[in-house]
Amino acid sequence: MKKSVFFGALTVAGLMAGASAAATLDDVKARGSLNCGVTTGVPGFAEPDADGVWKGFDVAVCRAVAAAVLGDGSAVTFVPTTGKTRFTALASGEIDMLARNTTWTFSRDVDLKFEFVGVNYYDGQGFMVPAELGVSSATELDGATVCIQTGTTTELNLADFFRSNGMSYEPVPIETGAEAVQQFTAGACDVYTTDRSALAAQRANFDTPSDYVVLPEIVSKEPLGPLVRHGDNEWGDIVRWTLNALITAEELGVTAANAGDIAGSSNNPEVKRLLGAEGSLGEMLGLDAEWAKRAIMVEGNYGEVFENNIGEGTQIALPRGVNAKWTDGGLIYSPPFR
Amino acid sequence: MADSKAQSVAFVRKTPIPQAPPPISEAGPLAWIRTNLFSGVFNSILTIIAFYVVIRFVMGVFPWFYNGVWDASSIRECKDKLDGLTGGCFAVLADRWDHLLFGFSYPPEGYWRIVLSFVLLMVAAAPLLFANLPRKMLYFTGFFPFLAYWLIWGGSIWVSMTLLAIIIATGFIYRLVAIQIDVEMRKIVAMGIGAICGVGLAYLLYLGASELSFIAGSIGTEGIVALIANKAFWAASIFTYVFFIPMGIFIGYAIYNSYEDGGLVSVVAALLFFGVAISYLVGPIWMGVNFILPIELEAVASRDMGGFMLNMVLGTVCVSLSIPLGIVLALGRQSDMPLIKGVCVVFIEFIRGVPLITLLFVANVMLAYFLPPSSNFDLILRVIIMITMFSAAYIAEVIRGGLAALPKGQYEAADSLGLNYNQATQLIILPQALKISIPGIVNVAVGLFKDTTLVSIISMFDLVGMIRGPIQNSTEWISVYWEVYGFGALLFFVVCYSISQYSQWLERQLATDHR
């Protein structure tokens, strides 16, 4: 008999959970920290360092949002999620936003009821093979054994690619990147496929990187970006425009070092609007005037974040490529701040 | 006679001949080799193959250890130092030692708290494991969980101390109602408790009934599934509406009626007190005491627990909780009372029919849907509940095997001595049944301890999660593999092998049969 009371209470609590999702900003402010979902570890994108402090390209987005909303880039509770738990964690309200190199797809946006607020890294799925295999194109891979991470979009892309080219393959399912490298270098599979950023990062750390080649084909579009739940557009706006502020800051030459005083010295009205010296953009978001300035001052603008975490100066050594700003021929583009 | 013999025999030896060494083919290393390694053609071949395998293995593994690099800050530096030689990169263990043992977010200045808890765990477990230690040490064993909770999670010591005090007070209330007051007094108490429980239960059922009708209303009647669910909820709701007052009266009267022997009323009184105290007294008391005498450690959130410590916490807590729960379930399954038996059978069979991973996923993600976002039902607590339920079901079946192995005469002998159920179970049945069950229980315990690594799937950073996530994916130690997994295996082996050795020793200690 008491069970029915319990069950009823659970259901009502579930309904309330759905209803209260509409005020994420208030929840975050009341809590004093942002619950940000990240990976359990992807080199350069999100990893705890030797002191246990999270750092990385995705982590920087979390910190920027925390700085914009709470005024402190370290007021983030990082919630590690796996590929299997990330969406339930976001949907259930355990985390306020997910910055976990997640591919923006139709079904995730529409069917899973999430809102992708932008793209912070344009990736694409590639193939890596041992050089001695003598393969120069992915179309020559008929009958190959392929190491593939389960539960990701790469698995589906792989199937699509081989089917559309009329080829067959034998998948070797693996769970983590480290396992994949182990299997691949030990010769358990002919091909290792995942996002090209990960391929490049892992290849750079092989004993002899020159023994392996990354094939030229890019078989999928993988726009990776942060996402929030459907149904709270105010919160979605905050995350979206914090990301845009970082991108715009790179275009305008605002950096972590000069964001503090450039608003006074610059004659560019967009710089003044961005940094809160003119206009009332922050107010429209429900934040104060200097929100974007704080977000930029945490780890710098988009370009700085890129260079410091995954750029060519780091061990990950990724070129900007399509992730250069649009004026340099890349895809990184922000709507204007006005 | 002696004389005549001395004269008839030329020489009589007075002292024994010194013992000659055995022939070289019958003793010494050569003989050992012959009998144990080369006792026949087939065995000789096997020996040679085994030697070949062992030597190849050692040749492969030895340089890996011998050339191993212990001092490097990243895997690249490590490879530079090795310079093409085969060698392990053990520097990762030195660099991430703290992370492997304690997780990466536990405050480093608090590591002593975990080490101290571990040492105290040994002290607390000793009287349970070794019967010849002074029994007074058991007081510390009872105290230890509260102390360890405070040490590991931090905060004010008075939270766990208040909890301990309330548990002790509950015990006293049970004794008071059950034994110390006379029947007249107990009659008055039973009247009060019965009235409270009857009214309370009726009220809860009333709320539940309205809740059910609310759910039924919100389901709607579109589609066959919704229609059936709707009707079912309406039926349940109407059923509850009809019966909430009779149920309240029935339960209230049952409690009142138990005043003569005091069984039910004392249990209900103690539970009632415990519930009220947990809900309303814990907060004010610990805050009040802490205001006067603050003893605090830096609080650490459950999310920040990690490394091998998390495996130890989960393993220790879940094993120690699941053994008593398993005993209760096993006895319940043998019960003559159909309700109790039914509940136990359904629980055991359901849990055994579901993989642990599924239960952990439910604990991690599904519960979050049901609980309101503000409620912070601790993740570790959720996981502990799930793992405990899982292993309790298995231990219950092991103990049921022990109970079934007892000859029927033991039960009958207990009855013929005039022992009641509690006495017979405690004094005769369980000691024998548990002794039979030791290997099985230890088997489950070792398995459970290793199963705690499954929490890495739900993104908790236990030892395996730590290795698979942050360490293998850090820029410094990208793709380091054998060294970290080998270290993890070593830690688990040490613990599991110790448990197994202890259980074999215990079996020898308890061996009272003549085999």
Instruction: Count Cβ atoms below 10 Å from residue B431 Cβ, excluding itself.
Output: 11
Which residue of A lies nearest to B360 if distances are taken between CA atoms? A85
* Predicted local confidence at residue B193, as pLDDT: 79
Say whether residue B235 is in contact with chain A using an 8 A CB cutoff: no
Predicted confidence (pLDDT) per residue in A56-87, tens digit:
999 999 999 999 999 999 999 999 888 778 89
Contact assessment for residue A65 and residue A247, using Cβ atoms and an 8 Å cutoff: no
Contact assessment for residue A238 and residue A263, using Cβ atoms and an 8 Å cutoff: no
Fold of A125-220: D-Maltodextrin-Binding Protein; domain 2 (3.40.190)
* A78: its two tokens: 């990082």
**Superfamily name and number for A2-122+223-328:** Periplasmic binding protein-like II (3.40.190.10)
Q: Percent of chain B scored above 70 by pLDDT?
A: 95
Interface test with A, best of B478, B482, B485 (most A CBs within 10 A): B478
How far apart are alpha carbons A16 and B369 in whole angstroms?
A: 10
Which residue of B lies nearest to A79 if distances are taken between CA atoms? B303
* Predicted local confidence at residue B376, as pLDDT: 62
pLDDT band at A2 (very low <50, low <70, confident <90, very high): very low
Cβ pairs A/B, distance under 8 A: 156
How far apart are alpha carbons A255 and B197 in whole angstroms?
A: 67
Contact assessment for residue B477 and residue A41, using Cβ atoms and an 8 Å cutoff: no
* A100: its two tokens: 């976990």
Three-state SS for A76? strand
CB-nearest to B469 from A40, A52, A93 is A40
How far apart are alpha carbons B393 and B398 in whole angstroms?
A: 9
How far apart are alpha carbons A51 and B474 in whole angstroms?
A: 12
How far apart are alpha carbons B150 and B160 in whole angstroms?
A: 7
Gap from B392 CA to chain A (nearest CA, Å): 22
Q: What is the residue-wise DSSP string for B39-53?
A: SSHHHHHHHHHHHHH
CATH of domain B303-515: 1.10.3720.10
CB-nearest to A5 from B104, B208, B475 is B208
List B residues 35-74 in contact with A (Cβ-Cβ < 8 A): 74
Reference A99, options A154, A45, A58; nearest CA is A58
* Predicted local confidence at residue B353, as pLDDT: 92
Predicted confidence (pLDDT) per residue in B27-53, tens digit:
788 888 888 888 889 999 999 999 999
Which residues in chain A have Cβ-Cβ distances shorter than 8 Å to B476? Answer: 50
Q: How distant, in Å, are the alpha carbons of A267, B236, B251, B328 from that of B263? A: 85, 32, 14, 18
Which residue of B lies nearest to A48 if distances are taken between CA atoms? B470
Domain locations in chain B as residue ranges: 40-97, 156-297, 303-515
Q: Percent of chain A scored above 90 by pLDDT?
A: 51
Task: Tell me phi and psi for residue A222, to 5 degrees.
Answer: -125, 80
List B residues 184-213 in contact with A (Cβ-Cβ < 8 A): 201, 204-205, 207-209, 211-212
pLDDT band at B204 (very low <50, low <70, confident <90, very high): confident
Contact assessment for residue B293 and residue B205, using Cβ atoms and an 8 Å cutoff: no
Give the contacts of A176 (CB within 8 A, at least 6 positions apart). A149, B468, B469, B472, B473
CB-nearest to B475 from A12, A44, A82 is A44
When mean pLDDT is compared across A165-179, A296-310, B359-373, the lowest value belongs to B359-373
B369/A1 CB distance under 8 A: no
A94/B368 CB distance under 8 A: yes
Say whether residue B382 is in contact with chain A using an 8 A CB cutoff: no
Report which secondary-structure segment, H or E, holds A223.
strand A222-229
Given a cut of 70, is residue A18 above it in pLDDT? no
CB neighbour burial string for B447-479, b if at least 16 within 10 angstroms, e if fewer: ebbebbbbbbbbbbbbbbbbbbbbbbbbbbbbb
Reference A194, options A174, A210, A212; nearest CA is A174
Q: How far is CA A20 from the centre of its chain?
A: 26
When mean pLDDT is compared across A247-256, A274-283, B266-275, B312-321, the lowest value belongs to B266-275
CB-nearest to B473 from A1, A2, A47 is A47
pLDDT band at A21 (very low <50, low <70, confident <90, very high): very low
B465/A40 CB distance under 8 A: yes
When mean pLDDT is compared across A161-175, B310-324, B355-369, the lowest value belongs to B355-369
Given a cut of 80, is residue A122 above it in pLDDT? yes
Task: Tell me phi and psi for residue B376, to 5 degrees.
Answer: -110, 75
Query: Which residues, listed in sequence order, are joined to residue A146 by a DSSP beta bridge?
Result: A171, A191
Three-state SS for A235? helix
Mean pLDDT of A106-114: 91
How far apart are alpha carbons A81 and A68 in whole angstroms?
A: 24
* Predicted local confidence at residue B506, as pLDDT: 87
Query: Which residues, listed in sequence order, are joined to residue A145 by a DSSP beta bridge?
Result: A170
How far apart are alpha carbons B369 and A94 in whole angstroms?
A: 9
Q: Percent of chain A scored above 70 by pLDDT?
A: 93
Q: Percent of chain B scored above 90 by pLDDT?
A: 34
Mean pLDDT of A108-122: 92
* Predicted local confidence at residue A19, as pLDDT: 43
* Predicted local confidence at residue B7, as pLDDT: 64
Q: How far is CA B405 from the centre of its chain?
A: 24
Gap from B373 CA to chain A (nearest CA, Å): 6
Three-state SS for B184? helix
Q: For chain A, first and last CA: distance in Å?
A: 60
Which residue of A lies nearest to B305 if distances are taken between CA atoms? A52
Q: For chain B, first and last CA: distance in Å?
A: 52
Mean pLDDT of B359-376: 71
pLDDT band at A206 (very low <50, low <70, confident <90, very high): confident
pLDDT band at B372 (very low <50, low <70, confident <90, very high): low
Gap from A166 CA to chain B (nearest CA, Å): 34
Which class for B14: exposed (0-12), middle (13-18), buried (19 or more C-beta within 10 A)? exposed
Q: What is the CA radius of gyration of chain A?
A: 22
Query: Which residues, listed in sequence order, are joined to residue A80 by a DSSP beta bridge?
Result: A38
Predicted confidence (pLDDT) per residue in A232-243, tens digit:
999 999 999 999
Which class for A301: exposed (0-12), middle (13-18), buried (19 or more C-beta within 10 A)? buried
Predicted confidence (pLDDT) per residue in B489-500, tens digit:
999 999 999 998
B373/A21 CB distance under 8 A: yes
Mean pLDDT of A207-212: 84
When mean pLDDT is compared across A130-144, A186-200, B368-382, B403-417, the lowest value belongs to B368-382
Mean pLDDT of B324-345: 91
Three-state SS for A130? strand
Domains A2-122+223-328 and A125-220 belong to one CATH topology: yes
How far apart are alpha carbons A175 and A194 in whole angstroms?
A: 12
Interface test with B, best of A1, A49, A79 (most B CBs within 10 A): A1
CB-nearest to A85 from B201, B364, B372 is B364
pLDDT band at A11 (very low <50, low <70, confident <90, very high): very low
H helices within A123-229, ranges in order? Answer: 153-164, 177-185, 196-203
Cα A52-B493-A49 angle, rounded to 5 deg: 10
Predicted confidence (pLDDT) per residue in B405-460, tens digit:
999 999 899 999 988 888 888 899 999 999 889 889 999 999 999 999 999 888 88
How far apart are alpha carbons B218 and B343 in whole angstroms?
A: 31
* Predicted local confidence at residue A14, as pLDDT: 44
Comparison of pLDDT for B349 and B132, the residue scoring more: B349
* Predicted local confidence at residue B368, as pLDDT: 66
Three-state SS for B134? coil
pLDDT band at A9 (very low <50, low <70, confident <90, very high): very low
Comparison of pLDDT for B243 and A102, the residue scoring more: A102
Which residues in chain B have Cβ-Cβ distances shorter than 8 Å to A22? Answer: none
* Predicted local confidence at residue B328, as pLDDT: 93
Q: How far is CA A128 from the centre of its chain?
A: 22
* Predicted local confidence at residue B509, as pLDDT: 84
Can you point out the beta strands (E) in chain A?
34-38, 47-48, 54-55, 76-80, 97-103, 114-116, 121-123, 125-130, 144-149, 169-174, 191-195, 212-214, 222-229
Task: Tell me phi and psi for residue A81, to 5 degrees.
Answer: -130, 150
CB-nearest to A315 from B104, B458, B475 is B475
